[in-house]
Amino acid sequence: MTRLTDLGEFAVIDRFAGSAGGPSVIVGIGDDAAVLESPGGCMLLTTDMLVEGRHFLASRIEPHALGYKALAVNVSDIAAMGGAPGYALVSLALPDSVDVEFIDGLREGFQQAAEQYGVTLAGGDTVGSTVIVVNVALTGSIPHGGRWVARAGARAGDLVCVTNSLGRSDGGLRLLLAGDHTGLGADGAALLHAHAYPQARVAEGQAASSLVSAMIDVSDGLLADLGHICTASGVGAEIDADAVPVASELAAVAAALGFNPLESALGGGEDYELLMTVAPESFGELETNIRAAGSDLAIVGRIVEGSEVSVPGVAVAHLGWDHFHADA
Ligand code: ADP
Ligand code: MG
């Protein structure tokens, strides 16, 4: 019998891909959000789920952060298409042992993200369960004058760029798992905060949309998500490890806990920065636009012919997150 550990997450998705699509589906399964034809232009549609024991430990997450994050990660997928978020449905699966403070915290966190990103809550579903599950579905639209950007579209010779810095969420997760994070000061607090309250780069996605050839948000890790761009685009990529913007807050924490910050920046997930590919002649304008949107932009490598993502000089232990591969 073939089990999920043999198949992997992406083979599961592929099995559904065969029965998806339809006349109004411009981009179906396989991107950060679906792109659908709609009377006023096009509509974006995405969903992401947070599951207790897999994405968070109920004992180690504030309900407020959980509510915030459940919406922010969906907004990030809309941002990665160059879109603006719109309407959300929130579905909750809750054990009956959950207390009312938890529900209120969750709602307040969700509300904070909704206000920050201009999202309107339009409905949802609530069921009993053995573990906590928070699922959000979110619509989006492409602002006037913009265009949607898929994962496919990267071409050999394009530059690979990423907003801001990487590895903070992974550093925060490592701190959480280590349990004791006293004595790590402002840097430790910044990492924990980055893990709990990821920021979706909506303005940056829109600022990039008319210039980039492909875009994705970094949810699985830089190498894994660049791998998704490469697979969709039929190209390979070469990363320059020295050019990767490793979050400065990682240094002391990594030394204390005994890990390599570069590992967090290359393989750690959930930073929700935007990873994009751009023709060299458009980089200057892209950088100006991203700066105007409030973020930095680093060139971390380039797209090459082939299908591999390589990091010359670095032994890559793993390429990011796959839900059914324990060693991923
Ligand atoms: P992201 O990390 O951007 O949220 P995922 O890796 O979760 O993207 O999903 C990749 C693609 O696969 C998306 O287009 C998503 O809609 C699709 N997908 C994931 N699971 C399923 C499923 N069970 N059925 C259909 N499509 C799926
Ligand atoms: Mg995504």
For the chain, strand residue ranges (E) read 25-27, 34-38, 41-51, 84-94, 120-128, 133-141, 159-163, 214-217, 236-239, 274-278, 297-304, 309-310
**pLDDT for the residue 324:** 53
Ligand with smallest separation from the Cα of 200: 2
Residue 270 beta carbon below 6 angstroms from any ligand 1 atom: no
Q: CA 264 to CA 267: how far, in whole Å?
A: 5
Shortest-distance Cα residue to atom 3 of ligand 1 = 32
8-state DSSP, 316: -
Residues surrounding ion ligand 2 at CB below 5 Å? 32, 77, 217, 219
> What spacing in Å lies between the alpha carbon of 137 and ligand 2's midpoint?
13
Shortest-distance Cα residue to atom 21 of ligand 1 = 13
Ligand with smallest separation from the Cα of 274: 2
Please tell me whether the overall predicted TM-score, pTM, comes out greater than 0.85 for this model.
Answer: yes
- 124-150 confidence digits (pLDDT tens): 999 999 999 999 999 999 988 789 999
What burial letters (b/e) apply to 72-85, b meaning 16+ CB within 10 Å? bbbbbbbbbbbbbb
Shortest-distance Cα residue to atom 12 of ligand 1 = 30
Q: CA 23 to CA 201: how far, in whole Å?
A: 31
Structure tokens at 88: 């959300």
Q: CA 287 to CA 285: how far, in whole Å?
A: 5
**pLDDT for the residue 328:** 38
Out of 26, 29, 69, mutate this one to test ligand 1's pocket (max ligand atoms within 8 Å of CB): namely 29
Q: Which residues contact 291 (CB under 8 A, 6 or more apart)?
A: 297
> What spacing in Å lies between the alpha carbon of 259 and ligand 1's midpoint?
31
Q: CA 228 to CA 219: how far, in whole Å?
A: 11
> What spacing in Å lies between the alpha carbon of 315 and ligand 1's midpoint?
29
CB atoms within 10 A of CB 103: 15
Shortest-distance Cα residue to atom 20 of ligand 1 = 13
**pLDDT for the residue 305:** 98
Q: CA 319 to CA 110: how far, in whole Å?
A: 31
Ligand with smallest separation from the Cα of 81: 2
Positions in the chain short of pLDDT 50: 319, 326-328
SS3 for 167-226 is: CHHHHHHHHHHHCCCCCCHHHHHHHHHHHHCCCCCHHHHHHHCCCCCEEEECCCCHHHHH
> What spacing in Å lies between the alpha carbon of 249 and ligand 1's midpoint?
31
Shortest-distance Cα residue to atom 9 of ligand 1 = 30
**pLDDT for the residue 281:** 98
Residue 48 beta carbon below 6 angstroms from any ligand 1 atom: yes
Ligand with smallest separation from the Cα of 275: 2
Shortest-distance Cα residue to atom 11 of ligand 1 = 30
Radius of gyration (C-alpha) of the chain in whole angstroms:
19
239 DSSP β-pair partners = 301
**pLDDT for the residue 181:** 66
Residue 13 beta carbon below 6 angstroms from any ligand 1 atom: yes
Q: Which residues contact 112 (CB under 8 A, 6 or more apart)?
A: 64, 67, 68
Residue 219 beta carbon below 6 angstroms from any ligand 1 atom: yes
Which atom of ligand 1 lies closest to the CA of 48?
4
**pLDDT for the residue 321:** 53
